[in-house]
Amino acid sequence: MIKLELDRKTIKVAEASDVTSLQNGFYGQMKKGIIYLTAEEALYIMDIRNGKCYDKSGNNYSFNDVASLFLKNKKILARYLTYKDWRDKGLILRPIEEADGNYGRTVLLRYESSKFKIDSFSFEGLFFPHDLITLVDDANVGKELYQRYWIGQFGTYKASHRGRISKLDIFETIYLLRHGNMTLKNCKLKEVEKIAEKHIKFFSDMYLVYEDWRSRGYVIKTGFKFGTHFRIYFPGASPIKTEDKWMHSRHVIHVFPRKHKQLISEWARAIRVAHSVKKTFILAIPGKKSAQSLNPKKPQLDFLLYHRKKGGIETPKEGTPKYLMYSLTEDEYIGGEELARALAECSLSGLEMMVAISDRESSVTYYVIKKIDLPGSEYEYFEIEWIQP
Amino acid sequence: MIKLELDRKTIKVAEASDVTSLQNGFYGQMKKGIIYLTAEEALYIMDIRNGKCYDKSGNNYSFNDVASLFLKNKKILARYLTYKDWRDKGLILRPIEEADGNYGRTVLLRYESSKFKIDSFSFEGLFFPHDLITLVDDANVGKELYQRYWIGQFGTYKASHRGRISKLDIFETIYLLRHGNMTLKNCKLKEVEKIAEKHIKFFSDMYLVYEDWRSRGYVIKTGFKFGTHFRIYFPGASPIKTEDKWMHSRHVIHVFPRKHKQLISEWARAIRVAHSVKKTFILAIPGKKSAQSLNPKKPQLDFLLYHRKKGGIETPKEGTPKYLMYSLTEDEYIGGEELARALAECSLSGLEMMVAISDRESSVTYYVIKKIDLPGSEYEYFEIEWIQP
């Protein structure tokens, strides 16, 4: 039994044997022989290490009695459940406030970038506003766009010799209206943009991402089959080099607009599909980086995570932290701006972000987020990987 | 070359050799030696079978000239692209208007159903409104709820001996407040419901589905790991029988409220995840069946599909149709009510529904939808399977 003493919202441990045991386990903060615990630490000790909590008058406080003292802290449960899971794995984690300086433990993933310019064609398409698709019936143009730039789908998917019509998606349509001298039989650029924006939430954000990659030489097509907004091929990819052996994309892009608030479960769903088809998942946060400056004294993230090392685990005594944990639960919302700010916080610390999502059964799933360097781009891109720490 | 004659919006073929060829291929409708084509048929013949279209004065009409005559028909492109894909597979399809009576080719999937009643416990939980989770710190109650009913997660996920706290999700919380004599330290049932509804769109629809399965003896838990709202275990499932060998669910449930309009790409994403983890995907449409009566003269569906048979294909000449096709494109919306009505149309015809989704590249994905019979339930459930016809 470990005896916890409650005084208002302060929880401390004073008995010598308990103090030693907790100190060895890297719990709490030591001041003059007494250990002061955070709410998550206290709850964990009560749940798992047979801690009992009393106030000065000797009244016993149950787990929920203690938890309810911290109910006003919106993050208390997400933090407690993810704290517990990390501890349950035999790993150490500490309050985020202990983060100190830049640990230099991040990797910047450098993506290639080439210059892309499309020839100025001159041709006409027919736009279908209900489906956001343009058909081009000039077979010469359709074929050239497809073979030289992999723009549109000429003929049939995976069988471009079959049929003579080219189908342009809404991103290709706008791109060609802007840069390829296409006109439409039944619509002007402005109208197309308006229809697309009305139809698809945050469409202009998605288009920004499309043009950003396209203009750096990437081929960017629908990610429908992989449950994401886009899939990409690296500069130089062509559908004709590979028609006998189809070229598989290995990266998918999902756009997370800054103003979009999304259920964690929906956010995670997209990553799941990508994982199941063995694609690298790229999260795109378009638009200008947040002007609000970060306040290192008020971190938005939750814990400083120590991980494994050869033959053991890292500890605050010997070793440095590797990740910052962002603690979430399945039915919460997350916004693009919020996520971008949290990621900026990680950059400052030189630590990678570990998103920890506790589902409705308190089973925790982990995602590591690494920053991508796409030379020339103003937007933020990250690789997200589902891992088991 | 096949010569198509255009007269206003009527497209016909009159030359004898063309007529024979099209008749053998099951295109169009024959009247007095002349074949009349639907828009989709005409476009297909122009795209794939070298059809050329002229008006009475001998003016040539390109593919897009013809297509633009039908632009007011919102479904024209979705229908054309899915028509083409089915034809490209060497299979026959006909206008939906030819559906005649009940073909008796559907299967009703009978699910078992048992009676479930929970004992009236009397205990207190602490509700976390930000995460929609309730903690129960009475270990006896938490353990019994978990072991007897698989309600809540006692201890740790997949390690219930570890820890003494039980976590109830929002559905379990409301279920126990209503039927299990639970009270909350910090909230009343009405407040919890209000918070849940504010937090999760269409929450009450989701709860209806939860209670519907739970009250028939199923265990119903989060489907987070599989990208769906729920996963289920059949009556009799228990987490303790199986703790050494974890019991895997084989069915997931996704709720599609009648009033919800959803992007096709989002709809399909949930099915993808389930498929990738080899789960049967169940679509739930809760709430009362639509009061609007079906109008068989104005079908909402698109085509009558003939499929394969041993050693060949079914045709309108010898054989009967097997499916009704619902033609959609990636960036369209679909509503729960719309889908329910389309499914009712299939029931009337005794044909299964084939959802055909053309993505932005005109690659078509198919899903077959079969009706589930869950005895005693008032709601509609369907199994959806991703297939390659």
Would you call B125 and A88 a contact, using CB atoms and an 8 Å cutoff? no
* Residue A288 pLDDT greater than 80, yes or no: no
Tokens matching residue B136: 């129960």
Residue A195 exposed, middle or buried by CB count within 10 Å (0-12, 13-18, 19+): middle
Q: What is the pLDDT of residue A121?
A: 86
**At B241, is the pLDDT very low, low, confident or very high (cuts 50, 70, 90)?**
low
Q: What is the pLDDT of residue B244?
A: 56
- Do A377 and A301 share a structural domain? yes
Residue A62 Cα distances to A31, B186, B199, angstroms = 26, 15, 29
* Residue A244 pLDDT greater than 60, yes or no: no
DSSP state of B98: G
Tokens matching residue A348: 């400052």
**Partners of residue A273 in chain B, C-beta under 8 Å:** 227, 269, 272-273, 276
Angstrom distance (rounded) from CA B231 to CA B243: 18
* DSSP of B319-354: S---EEEEEEETT-EEEHHHHHHHHHHHHHHT-EEE
- Do B366 and B259 share a structural domain? yes
Angstrom distance (rounded) from CA B46 to CA A163: 9
Please indicate whether residue A279 is annotated as part of the active site.
Answer: yes
Q: What is the pLDDT of residue B274?
A: 86
Angstrom distance (rounded) from CA B262 to CA A309: 46
Q: How far is A215 from chain B (nearest CA, A)?
A: 20
Q: In terms of DSSP bridges, do strands A10-13 and A29-31 run parallel, antiparallel, or are they unpaired? A: unpaired
Beta-bridge partner residues of B3 = B52
Per-residue pLDDT reduced to its tens digit, B68-95: 999 999 999 999 999 999 999 999 999 9
**Which residue is closest to B365 within chain A, CA to CA?**
A225
Per-residue pLDDT reduced to its tens digit, A263-273: 999 888 889 88
Q: What is the pLDDT of residue B17?
A: 95
Place of tokens 């016809």: B389
Using alpha carbons only, give the angle A292, A293, A297 rounded to the nearest 5 degrees. 125
Angstrom distance (rounded) from CA B389 to CA B375: 31
Angstrom distance (rounded) from CA A218 to CA A237: 8
Which residue from B77, B137, B157 is facing A361, i.e. has the nearest CB? B157
Mean per-residue pLDDT for A315-336?
94
Q: What is the pLDDT of residue B369?
A: 95
Of residues B60 and B291, more confidence is placed in B60
Residues contacting B25, CB < 8 A, separation 6+: none
Residue pair A12/A4 in contact (Cβ under 8 Å)? The answer is yes
The domain tally of chain A equals 3
Q: In terms of DSSP bridges, do strands A333-335 and B29-31 run parallel, antiparallel, or are they unpaired? A: unpaired
Which residue from A75, A331, A362 is facing B132, i.e. has the nearest CB? A331
* Residue A21 pLDDT greater than 80, yes or no: yes
Q: In terms of DSSP bridges, do strands A280-285 and A251-255 run parallel, antiparallel, or are they unpaired? A: parallel
Residue pair A118/A324 in contact (Cβ under 8 Å)? The answer is no
Q: Which of A70, A86, A105 is the last residue of a domain?
A: A70
Mean per-residue pLDDT for B345-354?
94
Give me the percent of chain B exceeding a pLDDT of 90: 83
Q: What is the pLDDT of residue A261?
A: 92
- Give the number of other CB atoms < 10 A from CB of residue B23: 13
Would you call B224 and A265 a contact, using CB atoms and an 8 Å cutoff? yes
Per-residue pLDDT reduced to its tens digit, B262-280: 999 988 888 988 888 899 9
Tell me the average pLDDT of chain A: 93
Q: What is the pLDDT of residue B247?
A: 67
H or E segment at A62?
Answer: none
Which residue from A48, A77, A265 is facing B128, i.e. has the nearest CB? A77
Beta-bridge partner residues of B356 = B327, B366
Place of tokens 């899903």: B367
Per-residue pLDDT reduced to its tens digit, A73-124: 999 999 999 999 999 999 999 999 999 999 999 989 999 999 999 998 899 9
Q: How far is A66 from chain B (nearest CA, A)?
A: 11
Residue pair B326/B342 in contact (Cβ under 8 Å)? The answer is yes
Mean per-residue pLDDT for A62-66?
98
* Residue A291 pLDDT greater than 60, yes or no: no
Domain extent at residue A10:
2-70
Q: Which of B215, B239, B271 is the last residue of a domain?
A: B215
Mean per-residue pLDDT for A168-186?
97
Angstrom distance (rounded) from CA B188 to CA B205: 20
The ipTM estimated for the assembled molecules is 0.93
H or E segment at B309?
Answer: strand B308-309
Per-residue pLDDT reduced to its tens digit, B273-308: 888 889 999 999 998 776 556 666 677 899 999 999
Closest CA to A67 of B5, B129, B258: B129
**Which residue is closest to B47 within chain A, CA to CA?**
A163
Residue B56 exposed, middle or buried by CB count within 10 Å (0-12, 13-18, 19+): exposed
Q: What is the pLDDT of residue A247?
A: 67
Residue A296 Cα distances to A342, A348, B368, angstroms = 11, 9, 53
Q: Residue B23 — φ and ψ, nearest 5°?
A: -65, -40
- Enumerate the H helices of chain A as residue ranges: 16-24, 39-48, 63-69, 76-88, 139-149, 170-179, 189-199, 203-214, 264-276, 336-349
Q: Residue B321 — φ and ψ, nearest 5°?
A: -70, 160
Choice among B61, B175, B233, B306 that is catalytic = B233
Tokens matching residue B206: 């989701």
* DSSP of A216-237: TT-EEEEEGGGTEEEEEE-TT-
State the helix-helix crossing angle for B264-276 and A264-276, rounded to 10 degrees. Answer: 60
- Enumerate the H helices of chain B as residue ranges: 16-24, 39-48, 63-69, 76-88, 139-149, 170-179, 189-199, 203-214, 264-276, 336-349
Q: What is the pLDDT of residue B297?
A: 63
H or E segment at B52?
Answer: strand B51-55
Mean per-residue pLDDT for B159-179?
96
End-to-end CA distance of chain A: 30
Residue B247 exposed, middle or buried by CB count within 10 Å (0-12, 13-18, 19+): middle
Q: Which of B168, B195, B215 is the last residue of a domain?
A: B215
- Do B184 and B132 share a structural domain? yes
- Do A358 and A259 share a structural domain? yes
Q: What is the CATH number of the domain that holds A168?
A: 3.40.1170.20
**pTM listed for this prediction:** 0.94
Residue A40 Cα distances to A50, A95, A334, angstroms = 15, 10, 22
B64 by DSSP, 3-state: which?
A: helix
- Do B378 and B252 share a structural domain? yes
- Do B79 and B9 share a structural domain? no
Tokens matching residue B55: 């008006």
Angstrom distance (rounded) from CA A331 to CA B45: 51
Residue pair B142/B136 in contact (Cβ under 8 Å)? The answer is yes
**Which residue is closest to A364 within chain B, CA to CA?**
B157
Would you call B332 and A131 a contact, using CB atoms and an 8 Å cutoff? yes
Q: What is the pLDDT of residue B245?
A: 58
- Do B328 and B275 share a structural domain? yes
* Residue B249 pLDDT greater than 90, yes or no: no
Beta-bridge partner residues of A313 = A308
Q: What is the pLDDT of residue B35?
A: 98
Q: What is the pLDDT of residue A276?
A: 85
Tell me the average pLDDT of chain B: 93
**Which residue is closest to A186 within chain B, CA to CA?**
B68
* Residue A243 pLDDT greater than 60, yes or no: no
A–B: how many Cβ contacts below 8 A? Answer: 199
Which residue from B71, B126, B158 is facing A186, i.e. has the nearest CB? B71
Angstrom distance (rounded) from CA B37 to CA B13: 8
Residue pair B325/B301 in contact (Cβ under 8 Å)? The answer is yes
- Do B87 and B11 share a structural domain? no
Choice among B279, B307, B322, B371 that is catalytic = B279
Q: What is the pLDDT of residue B238?
A: 86
Per-residue pLDDT reduced to its tens digit, A120-144: 889 999 999 999 999 999 999 999 9
**Partners of residue A165 in chain B, C-beta under 8 Å:** 47, 63
Angstrom distance (rounded) from CA B269 to CA A287: 26
Q: How far is A364 from chain B (nearest CA, A)?
A: 9
Residue pair B186/A70 in contact (Cβ under 8 Å)? The answer is no
- Do A29 and A99 share a structural domain? no
Q: How far is B101 from chain A (nearest CA, A)?
A: 32
Q: What is the pLDDT of residue A64?
A: 98
- Do A236 and A100 share a structural domain? yes
Which residue from A48, A131, A359 is facing B162, i.e. has the nearest CB? A48
State the helix-helix crossing angle for B203-214 and B189-199, rounded to 10 degrees. Answer: 120
- Do B318 and B179 share a structural domain? no
Q: Residue A320 — φ and ψ, nearest 5°?
A: -125, 160
- Do B339 and B238 share a structural domain? yes
Rounded to the nearest 5 percent, the helix, strand and coil shares of chain A are 30, 30, 40
**Partners of residue B81 in chain A, C-beta under 8 Å:** 167
* DSSP of B264-299: HHHHHHHHHHHHHTTPEEEEEE-SPPP-SPP-TTS-
Per-residue pLDDT reduced to its tens digit, A215-227: 999 999 999 999 9
Angstrom distance (rounded) from CA B255 to CA B238: 24
